[in-house]
Amino acid sequence: MKHLLIIGGTGTAGRLIANYFETNSFPVKIDIAARGITNPNTSNGIIKLDANKPEKLKGKLSNYDLVILAIGPFEKFGARIHEICLQEKVDCIDINDDPDACQSIFKLANHSLHSSVYTGMGLSPGLSTLLLKVVVSKLNDQTHRAGIRLYFGAAVQSGKASIYTMFSNIRKQVALKKNNKTVYASGKKMDLSEQYTFNEALNKLPLVFYSSPEVFTSQKCPLLKNIDQIDFAFHLQNCPPSLVRFLRGIKWFRKSIVQWLTNTVYKNQTKLSEEPGNNQLVIAQAFAENETHRVSASLSHSSSFDLTAMFCFIIAKKVLNKEIDNKPGIYSFDHLDIDFTNLMDNLNDLGLHINVDVIKKSDKNI
């Protein structure tokens, strides 16, 4: 039987990942590791571990077939735990959504590797990257522009790490992929440049542009590298534009301010969920367009945590079953040669459906 370790296994994402393995009858022995474990209420093995002290992991990972990092924010941890996994010759999957950590992780490719790291296997990157590859594939390598658009209802429950990363990525300069290079543009100007329609009820909404790890990873993806421009933005229901402008402008004590803001929002989530009009809706959409057509792929759910756990579980299962045939290395979803139809069927089996629409621009004013 395969042996799996989930670091951060007592957090919401970690618990959901473990639950997917248990409820889908996948034959695997699971250990969960976390800094503080009280009343675990689990049949899984328990390891007390402080992820802030990754050196304590040395010599403890070689007996595992796979390690899943369900921790965060990854800005804080960087590539330190990944490096130890590689030293211990054990495969590793993370749900990283931080662009700086992503670049640190890929620098590990310079080492002599005997195992693999699969990074960004959550909601975004991960599911969002799948949507992006699906829409671009429909245009037969003739895509001029593509992008990811995320919608988060104000009543959506999020963890501190997710909230922190969202606010931390609202910066003065935004990274986008242009002519297969990383280009930085004014976040303030980009925010003012576009409104986005997710559906009939959520139309012409303002956007907040951000830097995604996919800006960097897509540049080495054969399907995505020749697109003229790829950019990333989200809409957070009832987020004050003044807050976005403030976060775009601050330099001094930035991390402390973002942490304070994160704690404030996290503590008030219950209050926000009870306010009239606030919805508990998460939408992920990708679009690709050229001169004649626009393609979109969309999914919706009530929990960003569950979307992250679902996608991580599917990729972990494929790694454990050796369905992903790669030599040892560092991989994001952009780089994996996985059949789209099979993966969409896997998601559909878990209750998540992806809608794909192809529209002729002459048929509809876009």
Q: What is the CATH number of the domain that holds 66?
A: 3.40.50.720
| The pLDDT value given to residue 45 | 73
Reduce the DSSP state of residue 185 to 3 states and report it: strand
171, 253: one domain: yes
Q: Is the pLDDT of residue 190 over 60?
A: yes
80, 214: one domain: no
pLDDT band at 37 (very low <50, low <70, confident <90, very high): low
For residue 266, is it within any domain?
yes
Cis peptide before 240 (omega within 30 of 0): no
8 Å CB contact between 174 and 147: no
230, 105: one domain: no
DSSP structural state of residue 116: -
For residue 365, is it within any domain?
no
115, 161: one domain: no
229, 107: one domain: no
Question: What's the chain's average pLDDT?
Answer: 90
Q: Backbone phi, then psi, for 330, in 5-degree steps?
A: -110, 125
Query: What six digits make up the tokens of 318?
Result: 């494929």
Q: Is the pLDDT of residue 38 over 60?
A: no
Q: Distance between terminal CA atoms of the chain?
A: 52
Count CB atoms within 10 A of the CB of residue 354.
19
**Which pLDDT tens digit goes with each residue over 131-188?**
999 999 998 767 789 999 999 999 888 888 889 999 999 999 999 999 989 999 999 9
Question: Which helix (H) or strand (E) segment is 184 a member of?
Answer: strand 181-186
Q: The pTM is what? A: 0.93
23-32, 72-81, 123-132 — most confident range: 123-132
58, 173: one domain: no
pLDDT band at 55 (very low <50, low <70, confident <90, very high): confident
| The pLDDT value given to residue 191 | 94
| The pLDDT value given to residue 40 | 53
Percentage of the chain with pLDDT > 70?
96
**Which pLDDT tens digit goes with each residue over 105-145?**
999 998 889 999 999 999 999 999 999 999 999 987 677 89
Q: Is the pLDDT of residue 280 over 60?
A: yes
Mean predicted confidence (pLDDT) in 284-309: 94
Q: Is the pLDDT of residue 288 over 90?
A: yes
Q: At what angle do helices 127-137 and 304-320 cross, to 10 degrees?
A: 80
Q: Check residues 46 and 276 and name the one with the higher pLDDT.
A: 276
8 Å CB contact between 238 and 278: yes
| The pLDDT value given to residue 315 | 97
What's the structural domain count of the chain? Answer: 2
**Which pLDDT tens digit goes with each residue over 315-350?**
999 999 999 877 999 999 999 988 989 999 999 999
| The pLDDT value given to residue 365 | 52
Least confident among 34-43, 69-78, 228-237, 349-358: 34-43
Range of the domain at 236: 127-303+351-360
Mean predicted confidence (pLDDT) in 60-81: 91
DSSP structural state of residue 54: G
Q: Is the pLDDT of residue 269 over 90?
A: no
- Sequence-separated (6 or more) residues with CB below 8 Å from residue 342: none
280, 165: one domain: yes
Q: Is the pLDDT of residue 8 over 80?
A: yes
For residue 366, is it within any domain?
no
Q: What CATH number should be reported for the domain holding residue 211?
A: 3.30.360.10
37, 81: one domain: yes
